[in-house]
């Protein structure tokens, strides 16, 4: 349980990548300023987090199940927090979807929006009333550079990040008078399972009905240059965790 003076931080999507690293970094804060509730949709995936977290589990780190696509799971998780007091919410859970619109299934597009947009909105909706009542809180959303700039064959992922950016811009204005701050983090490429999955998607990609110029551009220009960008500028999840911690301070 959080002790006096500690901020309760609830983070979504902590089984891997950026979410895992934020949880580990905050739980290991040298001044013990944070009590981290690291959530994931399947606690069977907890081992990597626990291994990285050192001896913080049960002290400054707690685990909870939370599937951002499931209303009941979100409610149960927030209800399980003492007095429903979440000082900082970090909406990190997200999925990608790469491919030409012609070959992407409608259900997969909806899943991206249900996770990246409605997933964040669901958790925000659950914690926001208590933050407003307490007149304190910080809502952080892991957006992306693709929340600012469109990229070929990333139409739906980009749209989901633009959507959450717009939502947060609007919410931030409304919450300011309640002393609740809304922040967005917009990382460029980060080396996580997300990148691995993208590369798997590329290997399986089909281009039915896509014009030859676009396919050529994607294969000969976009893919090699994005691989170079990843190599030259790709950040580690620790870099993004450090940035997130700074935003909280």
| 37 assigned binding-site residue | yes
User: Please, which residue, 22 or 175, has the CB nearer to ligand NDP?
Assistant: 22
Considering only 144, 154, 158, 244, the residue that binds ligand NDP (CB under 6 A) is 144
Point out which span in 30-38, 91-99, 127-135, 173-181 binds ligand NDP (CB under 6 A).
91-99
- DSSP labels, the chain: -PPTTPEEEEES--SSHHHHHHHHHHHT-TT--EEEEEEES-GGG-HHHHHHTTT-BTTTEEEEE--TT-HHHHHHHHHTSGGG--SEEEE-------S-GGG--HHHHHHHIIIIIHHHHHHHHHHHHHHHHHT-EEEEEE--GGGTS--TT-HHHHHHHHHHHHHHHHHHHHHGGGTEEEEEE----B-SHHHHHHHHHHHH---TT--HHHHHIIIIIIHHHHHHHHHHHPBPHHHHHHHHHHHH-
What's the min distance (Å) between Cβ of 221 and ligand NDP?
A: 19
User: Please, which residue, 132 or 191, has the CB nearer to ligand NDP?
Assistant: 191
The reply to whether 157 belongs to the active site is yes
Considering only 45, 110, 133, 216, the residue that binds ligand NDP (CB under 6 A) is 45
User: Please, which residue, 120 or 180, has the CB nearer to ligand NDP?
Assistant: 120
Q: Interface with ligand NDP by CB under 6 A: which residues?
A: 12-13, 15-19, 40-42, 45, 66-69, 92-95, 115, 119, 142, 144, 187, 189-190, 192-195
């Amino acid at each position: 349980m959080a002790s006096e003076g500690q901020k309760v931080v609830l983070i979504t999507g902590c089984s891997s990548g950026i979410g895992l690293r934020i949880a580990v970094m905050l739980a290991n804060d040298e001044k013990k300023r944070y009590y981290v509730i690291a959530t994931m949709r399947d606690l069977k995936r907890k081992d990597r987090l626990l291994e990285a977290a050192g001896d913080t589990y049960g002290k400054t780190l707690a685990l909870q199940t939370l599937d951002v696509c499931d209303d009941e799971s979100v409610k149960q998780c927030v209800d399980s927090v003492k007095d429903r007091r979440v000082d900082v919410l970090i909406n990190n859970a997200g999925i990608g979807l790469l491919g030409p619109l012609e070959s992407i299934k409608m259900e997969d597009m909806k899943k991206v929006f249900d996770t990246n947009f409605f997933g964040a909105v669901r958790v925000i909706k659950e914690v926001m009333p208590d933050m407003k009542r307490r007149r304190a809180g910080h809502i952080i959303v892991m957006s992306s550079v693709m929340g600012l700039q469109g990229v070929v064959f990333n139409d739906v992922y980009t749209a989901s990040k633009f959507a959450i950016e717009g939502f947060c811009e609007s919410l931030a204005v409304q919450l300011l008078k309640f002393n609740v701050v809304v922040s967005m983090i917009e990382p460029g490429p980060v080396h996580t399972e997300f990148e691995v999955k993208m590369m798997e998607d590329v290997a399986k990609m089909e281009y039915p009905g896509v014009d030859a110029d676009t396919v050529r551009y994607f294969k000969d220009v976009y893919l090699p240059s994005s691989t170079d960008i990843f190599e030259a500028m790709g950040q580690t999840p620790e870099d993004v965790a450090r940035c997130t911690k700074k935003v909280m301070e």
